[in-house]
Structure 1
Amino acid sequence: MTADTRTPPPFGRTLCAMITPFTATGALDLDTARQHASRLVAEGCDGLVLSGTTGESPTTTDAEKAALLRAVREAVGPAVPLVSGVGGPDTRHTLRLAREAEEAGADGLLLVSPYYSRPQQSAVETYFTRVADAAGIPLMLYDIPGRTGTRIEPDTLLRLAEHPRIVAVKDCSYDLLGATKVMSRTSLAYYSGCEELNLALYALGGAGYVSTVANVAPRQMRAVLDAFDAGDTTGAARLNGLTVELVELMMASGLPGTVTAKALLPTGPVREPLQPAGEEAADALREARRRLVATTPPKSP
């Protein structure tokens, strides 16, 4: 599958799960958010996901989520798709967040399955359907059972795909069989939420990725898909291999991706209960990023 045969993805192809900048005292930093969003788009991100896991959504207020969305929209303009995270354990709160995100200018909603209460699949399906029925913009369902405790089972996704506003999945299930089954039987756009599977899921027909690592290496993450679309599968595999060291340190070192991303960016602290990366971890992250960037050709004028 090449760029000219792939179905156009609904929210772009190379999305960044954007961090939420804070000031040194912990307040929302909208100026830095605008600057960071603009840089990400200039460096190859064709869509942004706000107020997701990486965006520290559990510790930002509803008003902060809306203010962040408005500020980023102002910075990147109307052409860049913005997807806002609104999911949570309370259906009523989720419905309110969805309405507020739509009013603030979101192009889509990222909807994680209800966490902590671990509802049965019929309840998960009802939750998603309730939000989709109420929303006026499309939904990207977020399947991340390692955090929520509840899988969106493939058979549930097959039924949900019939809803006209459920158009995409951010997949952190680590189930390529299940993802392939759903992609082959529906028109759902599958976005990899796990950087180590970006290329594999894309090669199977995925839409692209929603990446935390793209906060600090947007061009390098995009280059993998660009090479694949150009028909250079060997080059895509090589470029993907170059990202592995940084991906592993950022996403599989025992530290949350939000923590590791902010260790590499001038975007302020994380909010408690998260704690910053130690100096040893930060040094290793900086060196891995330096090595990855050094392998990337200069940006064309």
Structure 2
Amino acid sequence: MTKFPFPGLNLAVTTPFDASGRVDLNQLDAHLDRYIAAGVDGIVLSSGTGMHVYLSREESDALVARGARVISGRVRLIVQTSALLVEDVLARTRHAADCGADGVMVLPPFFEGPTDDEGILAFYTAVAGGGLPVIGYNVPQAVGVGISPGLLRELCAIPNFCTVKDSSGDLAQQADLIRTGLPVMNGADPLMPYALLAGAAGVIWGGANFAPRTCVELVQAARDHRWDEARAIWRLLEPAMNLIWQGDYVASVYAAADITGYGSGVPRRPLRALDAGKLDLLRAALGDLVAREREAVPA
């Protein structure tokens, strides 16, 4: 692909749930509007942070259809279409295309899937037949499959495969991917400014749910090579971004977003809301971000 289609901050948005744990599509409109007003460049629906693996196919499809109507081209739309069966990935991808998505994010085969390069290449070649730009997903600690620089080169030769989101959390490994000269997206919250300095082409950021305006400012400062300013902004974000990465990630993002004014309910089962002790640690880590973001949240 001649031009990288997903620069800037793409928010892996939380999925709203009501008090009974049902997907709350009525809350989705205002939820997405707040983030678009905050200045994000793109939104990822049915993301990991949005509890993709705990949504039924019907729930995910409904979420994507409604979200696409709300977004209506104001920012780019990426949809996670990961599934165990290739046929399901393709069906989800075609649904996303029909809704007007700009691209899809797809995990490599997981749960006893192929781990050799040939098997992964065959999988993504099939997925690319869905008709949308494909973002591969490198999260070896979760799926047991890693993307090496050599494999990335082969993947990017597949028509429609355009980048990999690296959520390994290993900056040295991500830098190896970036040095291929191919576009790489960072998905590890604690590495954001360092990955941008290393040359990441864009980010998919779950933690930005609780501090979207501050995260947008960080990415923009990095885009403009205002590194002293980026470092000053990162000092505000770093304690919370490091804390959520240490465990209870999704529950922590939901809780932090509620504290800063971007709440979307609590994560559904089998996840649980944070206990009181962890919530106190989270509030302390958020520090000045709470007032900073709450002042900016539209009424």
TM-score (norm. length: structure 1)? 0.88
- The residue aligned with 1:144 is 139
1:129 aligns with 2:89: no
- The answer to whether the 8 Å contact 2:211/2:293 transfers is no
- The residue aligned with 1:222 is 216
Question: Could you tell me which of 248, 251, 257 is aligned with 2:245?
Answer: 251
Change (3 A) 1:176 1:269: closer
Deviations 1:185-230 (A, max 9, x none): 343x321101111111111221221111111101111222222233
1:288 aligns with 2:282: no
Question: Could you tell me which of 275, 279, 282 is aligned with 1:278?
Answer: 275
Change (3 A) 1:296 1:28: closer
**Cα separation, 2, equivalents of 1:85 and 1:205:** 24
**Cα separation, 2, equivalents of 1:270 and 1:75:** 22
**Cα separation, 2, equivalents of 1:8 and 1:42:** 26
1:101-250 alignment to 2 at 5 Å?
101-121=96-116, 122-132=118-128, 134-187=129-182, 189-250=183-244
**Cα separation, 1, equivalents of 2:3 and 2:155:** 20
- The residue aligned with 2:23 is 28
**Cα separation, 2, equivalents of 1:278 and 1:297:** 23
Deviations 1:12-38 (A, max 9, x none): 411111111111112110121221111
Deviation at 1:177, TM superposition (A): 4.2
- The answer to whether the 8 Å contact 1:107/1:137 transfers is yes
Deviation at 1:160, TM superposition (A): 0.8
Deviations 1:35-60 (A, max 9, x none): 11111111121101111211111111
Q: Which moved more, 1:260-269 or 1:155-164?
A: 260-269
Q: Which moved more, 1:67-76 or 1:19-28?
A: 67-76
**Cα separation, 2, equivalents of 1:38 and 1:279:** 30
- The answer to whether the 8 Å contact 1:228/1:236 transfers is yes
- The residue aligned with 1:11 is 6
* Aligned partner letter, 2:91: R
Change (3 A) 1:171 1:68: same
**Cα separation, 2, equivalents of 1:13 and 1:111:** 19
- The answer to whether the 8 Å contact 2:81/2:106 transfers is yes
* Aligned partner letter, 1:258: V
Deviation at 1:288, TM superposition (A): 3.1
**Cα separation, 1, equivalents of 2:91 and 2:73:** 23
- The residue aligned with 1:261 is 253
Q: Which moved more, 1:27-36 or 1:227-236?
A: 227-236
**Cα separation, 2, equivalents of 1:279 and 1:9:** 43
The share of aligned pairs that are identical, in percent, is 28
- The residue aligned with 2:86 is 91
Q: Which moved more, 1:20-29 or 1:99-108?
A: 99-108
- The residue aligned with 1:49 is 44
**Cα separation, 2, equivalents of 1:183 and 1:50:** 25
**Cα separation, 2, equivalents of 1:67 and 1:19:** 15
Deviation at 1:10, TM superposition (A): 0.9
- The residue aligned with 1:65 is 60
* Aligned partner letter, 2:266: P
**Cα separation, 2, equivalents of 1:298 and 1:282:** 21
The residue matched to 2:267 in structure 1 has which SS?
coil
**Cα separation, 1, equivalents of 2:105 and 2:241:** 23
Deviation at 1:298, TM superposition (A): 6.8
Deviation at 1:89, TM superposition (A): 2.6
TM-score (norm. length: structure 2)? 0.89
- The answer to whether the 8 Å contact 1:158/1:182 transfers is no
* Aligned partner letter, 2:244: M
Which blocks of at least 5 consecutive residues in structure 2 are unaligned? none
Change (3 A) 1:175 1:129: farther
Deviations 1:237-283 (A, max 9, x none): 2211221111122222x21x221122232312222211111122223
